[in-house]
Structure 1
Amino acid sequence: MRNRLADVVTTALRLLDDWGLDSFSMRRLAAELGVAPSALYHHVASKQELLGHLAARIVGGVVVDDDVTGTCRRLREAMLQVRDGAEVVATATAFRLGISAFEAELARRTSPDVARTLLIYVVGHTQATQLHWQASGLGAIPADPDLDASFDSGLAIILAGWSRLAG
């Protein structure tokens, strides 16, 4: 096969942006790459494993540092850059695929429980934001201009609780 795993992931991310996760399939990916669907399984064992690679690529450029608020905002922004990016990361998180290094680094700077809580909050809020954007873009609901403020408020509540418990 002429494609490498990196090619498969790059093409999959482009298709995800074009079609969304609901319409993403291994058959569509294979057609885009010009190969038989079975050829994809030389690179990944399953669609879930591919989603883990997509999630790793989505969060891969996010710097985790001692500015936990900034780290969480950067994670949110990275997911917002890819259509259904938060859903991909949520799936990978549930299956424990592709983002364990990110979570481990965040845990090192906070604690395992705080890192897990932050990850669930950031991914969940971002997933709700992306769903809201899609629905408002179709005219099904009015746009909510307060999504960023809502995110920041919830993040502040979690971090204040962590500070209080740690202090």
Structure 2
Amino acid sequence: MSAAPASARNDKTDVVAAAMRVLADSGLPGLSMRRIADEIDVQVSALYWHFPNKQALLAAVSAQIVGAGSAPPEVDAIAQALRDRLLAHRDGAEIVSSSLALGLLELPARAALVSAARDMGLDAAAADVAADTIVHYVIGYTFHEQQRLHAAVVGAADASVDLVPEGLDDRAGDFDAGLAMIIAGVRATASVSGR
């Protein structure tokens, strides 16, 4: 009796896991359908049994990066948890940003941010704006961090160049300061709308 074809032995979870391994090894530039297929020893066409195109696969990778776990109730903790998830994966911010831009990813952190903003007193429309603003700040900031790190690793930038504004001790402080400004704006909006 012959073994089942390789495509039958692999499911969506296996393909995403292989994509995550390739991402860790080679980053987004090396995340090709060919490399993923080679990782699980199948033909490229076998991947299309599970995903209609590469962007759909990248959306599944994005979902893996951001996770589906429970979020803390505070805005700053939600934002920090999202940043940590993005930083934990090479080129995580870029992949997640692309999937969000194409409407292929429901971001659990965004839903948690909407809820937290509502708890602060914002109406539904304002809570959506607050959540989107924070999500875009976190992803944009993290994308910048990951690009600087990659540039330093490949020698395209001097890793010793300090991009931190004067008066802040470290990049984490810079992130926290920017986030605090956004949250202060959310609170101010909530207090004005609550009058």
Q: TM-score, normalised by structure 1?
A: 0.93
Aligned residue in 2 for 1:90: 97
Structure 2 gaps, min length 5: 1-7, 118-126, 165-169
Aligned residue in 2 for 1:119: 135
Q: Please tell me whether the aligned partners of residues 103 and 115 of structure 1 are also in contact (alpha carbons under 8 angstroms).
A: yes
Superposed, 1:7-86 pairs within 5 Å as 7-61=14-68, 63-86=70-93
Aligned residue in 1 for 2:187: 163
1:128 and 2:144 are equivalent in the alignment: yes
* 1:93 CA displacement: 1.0
Aligned residue in 2 for 1:106: 113
Amino acid at match of 2:90: R
* 1:64 CA displacement: 2.0
Q: Please tell me whether the aligned partners of residues 65 and 109 of structure 1 are also in contact (alpha carbons under 8 angstroms).
A: no
1:141 and 2:158 are equivalent in the alignment: yes
Aligned residue in 1 for 2:3: none
Q: Please tell me whether the aligned partners of residues 78 and 109 of structure 2 are also in contact (alpha carbons under 8 angstroms).
A: no
* Larger CA deviation: 11-20 vs 137-146: 137-146
Of Structure 1 and Structure 2, which has the larger fraction of its residues in helix?
A: 1
| Secondary structure of the structure 1 residue equivalent to 2:9 | coil
| Secondary structure of the structure 2 residue equivalent to 1:96 | coil
**In structure 2, distance between residues paired with 1:2 and 1:102:** 33
Amino acid at match of 2:158: I
Amino acid at match of 1:123: I
Per-residue deviation, residues 9-55 of structure 1 (Å, max 9, x unmatched): 11101100100101210111111111111111111111111111111
* Structure 1 moving runs of 4+ over 6 Å: none
| Secondary structure of the structure 1 residue equivalent to 2:10 | coil
Aligned length: 167
Question: Percent identity of the aligned residues?
Answer: 40
* 1:75 CA displacement: 0.7
**In structure 2, distance between residues paired with 1:101 and 1:45:** 24
